[in-house]
């Protein structure tokens, strides 16, 4: 199960009843956040979730409405007695930007590890999250993210017995670990069936509709996409400022065959986004004008939890730098 909360839905500036766009997820005791604009920690507090388990923060780009809340969040995490390292992921320049913001948050009880994105697509595995960062099209370098929770195949006790695999090896094999016992090596493929369908979430904001979005969102259980403008006559403005209309976002959702789409990152002038849904819903019926703190529990298809244990496993293809 993956807990998902869209903490805010605003673009450009926070409003009295609309926080800036930010996403937070919870899986297997580890929290992940995408973007952290001004006031994001207020939204986390209103949701009632904890700051301390945030292990990864991904940034789409470095406009202020997506990163200016970071210093305050870091200080709050430090006050929550966090000591474990925190991983930050973002476009090239992350170290420079974070170092500048940390002038007002200089002393923290935990280490910050920065991974700078330099390629059109990069993948990471952090605490059970399979993260794919993909470049999109804004007026500065910007990335979207797909988060996947993979599922190993089902454990087959009969196969384990047929191969005389010791009972004490069953549990680690079920978790996807290779085991050596009494000089014999046992591998997960000896007892696990084919990989089962996992959970997939794709998040993208501040971009024009480009092919990479539909490609990476394909088959997502939830697609969270920017909808800066709901009005039909704002398409030229969307093109000029490298944003999207509701209808353009719906076109991507349809192409990617996602299960559901939440719109977010509304223009401050868009007071009632739900009233602008009609045309988008004609393109992709399962389109929702998300509200602040909109939440969902994404379940595996058969309702079972994943038996694999990837908490603590960390692999990546990026350049890790320490602050």
- Any idea which residues carry the catalytic annotation? 65
According to DSSP, the β-strands at 30-34 and 54-58 are parallel
d(CA 77, CA 52): 5
Q: Which two tokens stand for residue 200?
A: 């997939």
Closest CA to 262 of 223, 232, 215, 292: 223
Report the chain's C-alpha Rg in angstroms. 21
* List of long-range contacts for 270-276, beta carbons under 8 Å, 24+ apart: 270/228, 270/229, 270/230, 270/231, 273/9, 273/227, 273/230, 273/246, 275/230, 276/230, 276/231, 276/246
Which positions ≥6 away from 210 have C-beta within 8 Å? Answer: 136, 137
C-alpha torsion 167→170→171→176, nearest 10: 160
Closest CA to 323 of 132, 97, 142: 97
Q: Is 244 helix (H, G, I), strand (E, B) or coil?
A: coil
Q: Is 214 helix (H, G, I), strand (E, B) or coil?
A: helix
């Amino acid at each position: 199960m993956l807990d998902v909360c869209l903490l805010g839905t605003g673009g450009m500036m926070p409003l009295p009843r609309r926080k800036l766009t930010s996403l937070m997820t919870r899986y297997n005791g580890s929290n992940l956040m995408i973007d952290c604009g001004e006031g994001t920690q207020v939204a986390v507090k209103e949701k009632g979730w904890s700051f301390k388990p945030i292990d990864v923060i991904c940034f789409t780009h470095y406009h202020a409405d997506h990163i200016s809340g970071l210093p305050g969040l870091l200080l709050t995490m430090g006050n929550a007695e966090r000591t474990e390292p925190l991983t930050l992921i973002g476009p090239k320049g992350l170290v420079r930007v974070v170092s500048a913001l940390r002038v007002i948050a200089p002393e923290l009880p935990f280490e910050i590890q920065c991974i700078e994105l330099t390629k059109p697509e990069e993948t990471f595995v952090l605490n059970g999250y399979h993260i794919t960062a993909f470049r999109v099209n804004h007026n500065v370098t910007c990335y979207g993210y797909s988060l996947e929770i993979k599922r190993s195949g089902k454990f087959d006790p009969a196969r384990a017995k047929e191969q005389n695999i010791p009972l004490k090896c069953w549990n680690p094999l079920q978790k996807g670990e290779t085991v050596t016992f009494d000089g014999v090596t046992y591998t997960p493929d000896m007892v696990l069936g084919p990989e089962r369908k996992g959970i997939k979430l794709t998040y993208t904001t501040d971009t024009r509709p480009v092919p990479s979005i539909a490609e990476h969102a394909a088959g997502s259980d939830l697609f969270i996409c920017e909808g800066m403008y709901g009005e039909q006559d704002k398409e030229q403005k969307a093109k000029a400022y490298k944003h999207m209309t509701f209808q353009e976002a719906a076109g991507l959702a349809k192409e990617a065959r996602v299960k559901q789409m939440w719109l977010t990152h509304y223009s401050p002038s868009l007071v009632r986004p739900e009233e602008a849904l009609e045309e988008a819903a004609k393109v992709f019926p399962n389109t929702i004008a998300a509200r602040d703190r909109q939440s969902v529990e994404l379940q595996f298809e058969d309702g079972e939890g994943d038996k694999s244990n990837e908490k603590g496993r960390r692999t990546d293809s990026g350049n890790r730098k320490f602050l």
